Amino acid sequence: MTEQTDDLRARRNVIVLVLAQAILGAQLPMIFIVGGLAGQSLAPSPIWATLPISLIVIGSMTTAPWLSALMQRAGRRAGFFVGAAGGAGGAALGAHALGAGSFPLFLAASYLTGIYMSAHGFYRFAAADTASPAFRPKAISLVMGGGLAAALIGPQLVKLTAEAAVVPFYGTYLAVFVLSILGAGLFFFLDIPRPPVLAPDAPRGRTRRQMLAEPRILVAVICATVSYALMNLVMTSTPLAVVGCGFGTGDAADIVSAHVLAMYAPAFVTGHLITRFGAERIVAAGLAILAGAGLVALAGVELANFFGALVLLGIGWNFGFIGATAMLSSAHSPEERGRAQGMNDLIVFAGVSLASLSSGVLMNATGGTAEQGWMGVNLAMVPMLALAGGALIWLVLRAPDAPRRPAE
C-alpha cells in the first residue's frame, strides 16, 4: 500500500476520531467541572472533595495496560466500544449515586468513567496507526484538536443541566450518559486494521524495561506525565478555588471552558510546529508555558488571574503532551506498539492520579482559606517542572543527533 493511499485512510480515520473527540470527549470537561463540587456535597470531609476525580484517573491508569493489550489483539474499535460503555455506565451510576446521596457509589461511578478516559487517551495513538511518518504528527494533533468542540459543548451542557433536576448535577450525569451512547456509534466507521497475529518466531520487540532504558522513550514518558499531571493538579482544584474565592459555579464553568479551549485549539498547528522545529523544542515550550501559568495563578485570585492561568495551563499541556506523544511514536516499532503505549499511559495516569489526590489535600490542608489552598496547589508545580525540564535537557545534551526508531 502506498504512502498516499495510507494517508487517505488515515484522513478518514482522523475525521471519525475528531468527531468522537468532540462528542464523547465533551463528558470530560463536564465531569471535571461538577465532579469536585458533587464530591464536596457527598463526602464526609471537604478534604475528600476531589477524590471522585482521582478515582476517574485511577480507573484510567489501571485500565490502560489491559485496554492497550485488547486493542493489540482485537483492534482499536473493540477497545473504543469498551471505553464508551464505561462512560455510559459511570454516568448512569453517578446519577443514581447523587439521587441516593451515596459517596461510595459515586466513587464507583467515577472509576467506571475512568475506563472511558483511558480509551479516550488512545484516540491520539489510533490517529497514527494508518498514517505515514510525514502525516503522523499532524494526524495526532488534528485528533487532539477535536477537543475544541468538546470544550464548547461540555461546559454549556453543564450550565443547562447542573440545576435542571431537584438533585444538583443529576441532569449533568444523565446528559453524559446520552453523549456516551450517541458517540459510540461513530466507531462503526473507523477503518483501522487489526494488528497481524505474529508467528511464533516473529520479532516481539523490546520488553517494557528495555524500552524505558532508551533515553528518548524515558524522557517522552516523563514529559508526558509531568505535562498531564500538572494540568490535572491545577484544573481539578479550579472549580473549588473559584467558588471558594466568592465567584459562582457559572464562572467556574466559563474558566474551565476557556481552559479546555486552550488545551485543544493549538492542536491545529502543533503538528506543523513539531514537524518544523522538532518535538523536543515544542515540549520545552510547553513546560515554559506551564511555568507561566503557575506565576499568573500566584499573582492573585481575581477572575482575570484564574482565566489567564487556566488558558496558559491549557496551551502548555497541549505543547508538552502532544510533543511527548510524537516523541514516543517515533521511538518504538509496530510490534512494540501495545506495550509501549500501555506502559506510557499507565505511568502517565499514575502521575495524574497522584496529582489529583494531592490537589484536594493541597486545597484543604495547606491553609484556612481557598486562596491559601490555591497558592499551595500552584507552588507544587515547581519540583515537577524541574524534573521534566532537567530530563529534556539531559536528552538533548546526551545525544542531540541520535538516530530515532521509526514507528512504521
pLDDT tens digits, one per residue of 31-75 = 878 887 888 788 887 777 778 888 888 888 888 888 888 988 888
Identify whether 193 is part of a domain.
no
What is the average per-residue pLDDT within 175-181? 94
Question: Residue 317: which CATH number?
Answer: 1.20.1250.20
Residues 14 and 129 sit within 8 Å (Cβ to Cβ): no
pLDDT band at 198 (very low <50, low <70, confident <90, very high): low
pLDDT tens digits, one per residue of 220-278 = 999 999 999 999 899 888 888 888 888 887 788 789 888 888 988 887 788 889 888 98
Distance of CA 8 to the CA centre of its chain: 27
Identify whether 112 is part of a domain.
yes
- Mean pLDDT of all residues belonging to the chain: 85
pLDDT tens digits, one per residue of 346-372 = 888 888 878 877 877 788 766 678 888
Name the one residue in this structure whose C-alpha cell is 508538552: 320
Identify whether 195 is part of a domain.
no
* pLDDT of 319 above 70: yes
Identify whether 390 is part of a domain.
yes
Identify whether 171 is part of a domain.
yes
> With pLDDT > 90 as the criterion, what percentage of the chain qualifies?
37
Predicted confidence at residue 136, as pLDDT, reads: 81
Identify whether 196 is part of a domain.
no
Structural domain boundaries, residue 255: 3-188+206-398
How would you label 216-242 residue by residue, b for 16+ Cβ within 10 Å and e otherwise? Answer: bbbbbbbbbbbbbbbbbbbbbbbbbbb
What is the average per-residue pLDDT within 314-322? 93
Q: Which residues neighbour 382 within 8 Å (Cβ) at sequence distance 6 or greater?
A: 294
Identify whether 107 is part of a domain.
yes
Structural domains in the chain (count): 1
To the nearest 10°, report the CA torsion of 281, 285, 288, 293. Answer: -160
Residues 233 and 355 sit within 8 Å (Cβ to Cβ): yes
Residues 315 and 264 sit within 8 Å (Cβ to Cβ): no
Identify whether 194 is part of a domain.
no
pLDDT tens digits, one per residue of 70-121 = 988 888 999 999 999 999 999 999 999 999 999 999 999 999 999 999 898 8
pTM above 0.85, yes or no: no
Predicted confidence at residue 214, as pLDDT, reads: 87
Q: How far apart are CA 104 and CA 363, in angstroms?
A: 22
Q: How far apart are CA 361 and CA 286, in angstroms?
A: 26
How would you label 58-78 residue by residue, b for 16+ Cβ within 10 Å and e otherwise? Answer: bbbbbbbbebbebbbeebbbe
Q: How far apart are CA 41 and CA 45, in angstroms?
A: 9
Amino acid at 358: S
